[in-house]
Amino acid sequence: MAIEIERKYRVQSLGGLELPKGQEIDQGYLANSGCTVRVRTKGPRAYLTIKFPARRLQETGGALERQEFEYEIPVPDARELLELAPFRLTKTRHLLPNGVELDIFHGRHEGLILAEYESAGGSQPEPLPGLQWQEVTEDRRYSNSWIARNGIPPLD
């Protein structure tokens, strides 16, 4: 078991930021009742992940903590499970120098860019020049499972 502590941001502008080569991700959601069961291909590998509901960490100013179990599975199995998944999304993930994972969504989610930052204490990431974002950590509409089911959340 792993504990994931993260913050999430909706990116409004990359501000000319040069992105490193990304990795293609195709993920689908098999169940979402109390916990989320996700299957994904990530480059040449595949994973089955179970995530439990998140709780807000008051002492970190709003980071979310959740239990997460992730298992590598054979890619052919993942592809079959993806075909069975009622909700899917595709994205390209870029790993930025400050430890931020930047996801650029494709298909029906085109135009959405999210950034995630995981840290042991729930701290904010170091800023990157030009990158403009808004923290959406506590907005459940920015979970990937919500986006896969419902589409891009409207800007408030």
The residues assigned a catalytic role are 29
Specify whether the CB–CB gap between 9 and 135 falls below 8 A.
Answer: yes
Q: Residue 141: how many CA atoms within 13 Å on its side-chain side?
A: 11
Tokens, residue 109: 């989610």
Query: Dihedrals φ, ψ of 109, to 5°?
Result: -105, 10
CA distances from 4 to 18, 50, 123, 143, 152 (A): 27, 12, 13, 14, 24
CA distances from 61 to 12, 54, 86, 141 (A): 22, 15, 34, 19
